[in-house]
Amino acid sequence: MSQDRITYNICPMGGCHEFCIIKVHSKDNRVVKVESPELPEDPDWRCICLKGLSSIKHMYSAERLRYPLKRTGERGEGKWKRISWDEALDTIAARLLEIKKKYGAQAVRVDARGSSAIGTVQGASGQLFANLWGSSTFEGKGHSSDGGTRAASLFVLGDSKQGHDPLDCRNSKMMVLWATNASETKFRFARGYLEAIAKGIPTTAVGPVYDSMASKASRFVPVRMGTDGALALAMINVIIQKRLHDEDFIRDHTVGPFLVDPVTGRFLRESDLINGGDPQKYMVWDQNSGRPAVNGPGVKSAITGKYPAGDRMCGTAFQLVADKAAEYPLSRASEITGVDSAAIESFAIEYATTKPASIYISNAMAYTKFGDLGARAIFILGAITGNIGVTGGGVSTSIRSLESPFNVKKATMPAGAPGQKEIPCTLNNARGWVAIRDQDPYAIKGYLIFNRNLVQAYGNADSYANIFRKLDLIVTCEVQRTWTTDYSDIVLPDATVFERDDIYVSGNYVVYQAKVAEPVPETRCTFDIWKGIAQRVGLGQYFDMTPEDFIRKLLDSKSPYLKGITFERLKEEGLIRVQNPPDFSSEFLDKKFPTSTGKIEIYVEDLVPYGEALARTQGKPGKPRIRCLSIEISPLLHDKEEQVFYRDAGGP
């Protein structure tokens, strides 16, 4: 009788983005059970849900793609014929070379890092091919369907991925779960919330549905869908009217005291008032001297009011926020949101007077047109009450985790590789899709999409499908059929996480994703697929290696987190906690914010040209947003890696 083999992996049901570690039991080249492993060094990271426990069914599903397919009908028509791997790869290579000859290498886009490809080698091998080919990419990076709350966080706090550890709510005196049903969607969050609720911490659930998390809360606020911004602005108005805002925090850590030029909408600088003045120094109204002064030590800045500066009266940024919030008195907010006026008022008062208070804001509340603007109001709510940058507080969007310590650059950018060409003016994916749709500034004719279901996941499927119909070549690689595979020319069947070797980071752990079963006949892992394409287009010498060789390159890193972690050790142990991992339990405790001003931006100067410097419940006429597919976006002017964009219910 064969021995039960124990290995580790990452849950392949990746849509939740929790990337839970799983302990895999296999026997006779077959997975028989998965469970959550013991994590004695970090037990709070241990987590698994029903999807994870049933992920074996994903591997052995009758719906798996089991051989390459070639389209025989129109795109989306669902007519296919079975072909061999040689025919599939030969066809892809020939079409790629045709496109390169006619339009240039940049006419091909490679999208190789979808969330269902749980494995660093799988995505990085696609990056290697893209860099060798010289394919096109977008300038910005980000989430195409979950961007609203993340964009709000980026603009207000300077970081789209910030978030307290969910267990930090144990230190809260009040919790607010805004549009999040964590007990069904984010188990790791739910554990912290349920523990805090059991301790008697007052909890308010806000959302359109009385879900399982709301049933555990001490208060439920049944807000009408898409009106969260009006609720938050009304709460801000109550807090300011009752003088419950934290003046010192607003003065010291936000742009609240900055004077705003009423003509340009920009912050007033020293250079605006003094010849030769510093354009990087912001002006405030000094209550000691009774005149404008550069914000800094020795200055007692006013946070409310309007004051003479040069030839005009300039209000403080906080005053402008207060004026905007005043447009949402309780009566109007109640009419908009469907929430009783008294309930809004009591919610606002309790939040402002119970410190520290934490808010978790989910992606879901921004899945409406201009939802990002409403999300910003919630971040401002946290800022004006001094609940940002404190243990037990925060307005969180996600769990902060260790960034990949692997040497991806070394593995994917060999000497002499042209690298990927960024399409101009595509600071986010939405603008990139505009460029593909309009074939401007140059043609995009080929698209290789690995493990990403764009048509279904991004919304407004017809818009994406219409764009796909304009392309000469679409290749997808998936484990199962999706809406996106239906619009492809060639569909390639991928191996699952149990059928290949790879590595990944989950929380503070490096995981060796051991191969425990042979791939289903006629399926292949993506590394082998990229290798097969590269060999046929003259780039095979760069893929003259095994997945193990590739893993060794990734581990050849100077990251301090990988100190002492060798390939041999990782393969033997399967699961290693990195050395001295960073503490992400609370964000911004040093009160340093990576915004353009270095402060919490309750007024976003960069969005003045678009009429969106202030949080609001809907857009304002002005320079138009870019309208594309399922998304209506504000311009993301910050040149950061965490560029994100917004979702909209409309079409192009």
Mean pLDDT by groups of 10 residues along the chain of 652 residues: 82 83 94 94 89 88 94 90 98 98 97 75 95 89 60 88 87 95 85 91 95 94 93 98 98 98 97 94 96 94 96 96 98 96 98 96 78 90 97 89 89 95 78 86 95 75 81 95 92 95 94 94 94 98 96 95 95 94 89 96 90 76 37 33 28 24
**Which H/E stretch holds residue 357?**
strand 357-361
Q: If you write DSSP's letter for every residue of 6-51 in order, what string do you get?
A: EEEEE-S-GGG----EEEEEE-SSSEEEEEPPP-TTSGGG----HH
Give dist(CA 577, CA 562) in Å, integer: 9
**Which H/E stretch holds residue 69?**
strand 69-71
Q: Does residue 133 contact residue 109 with C-beta atoms inside 8 Å?
A: no
Q: Does residue 562 contact residue 405 with C-beta atoms inside 8 Å?
A: yes
Give dist(CA 269, CA 260) in Å, integer: 9
Query: What pLDDT is attached to residue 182?
Result: 87
Give dist(CA 104, CA 418) in Å, integer: 13
**Which H/E stretch holds residue 511?**
strand 509-513
Query: What pLDDT is attached to residue 619?
Result: 45
Across 340-354, b (16+ Cβ under 10 Å) vs e yields ebebbbebbebbbeb
Query: What pLDDT is attached to residue 265?
Result: 97
Give dist(CA 604, CA 157) in Å, integer: 10
Closest to 94 (Cα-Cα) out of 446, 530, 543, 537: 537
Closest to 597 (Cα-Cα) out of 277, 267, 372: 267
628 token code pair: 């594309």
Q: Does residue 499 contact residue 515 with C-beta atoms inside 8 Å?
A: yes
Domains of the chain plus CATH, in order, are: 69-134+409-506+509-577 (3.40.50.740), 144-402+590-652 (3.40.228.10)
Work out whether the CA dihedral 614, 358, 206, 53 comes out positive or negative. Answer: positive
Strand partners, 474: 447
Closest to 452 (Cα-Cα) out of 145, 150, 57, 11: 145
Give dist(CA 627, CA 316) in Å, integer: 32
**Beta pairing class for 21-26 and 5-10:** antiparallel
**Tell me, what amino acid is at 70?**
K
Give dist(CA 337, CA 295) in Å, integer: 38
Closest to 69 (Cα-Cα) out of 628, 502, 523: 523
User: Is the pTM for the entire model greater than 0.75?
Assistant: yes
Number of alpha carbons in the 13 Å side-chain half-sphere of residue 122: 28
Model confidence pLDDT, tens digit, residues 142-182: 444 456 788 889 889 998 888 888 889 889 999 999 998 88
351 token code pair: 């939040």
Distances (CA, A) of 351 to 250, 363, 601: 16, 21, 21
Q: Where are the alpha helices (DSSP H) in 7-134?
A: 50-53, 55-59, 85-103, 120-133
Closest to 165 (Cα-Cα) out of 203, 202, 211, 196: 196
**Tell me, what amino acid is at 305?**
G
Tell me phi and psi for residue 99, to 5 degrees.
Answer: -65, -45
Query: What pLDDT is attached to residue 187?
Result: 84
Query: What pLDDT is attached to residue 431?
Result: 72
Closest to 539 (Cα-Cα) out of 135, 169, 247, 85: 135
Query: What pLDDT is attached to residue 84?
Result: 98
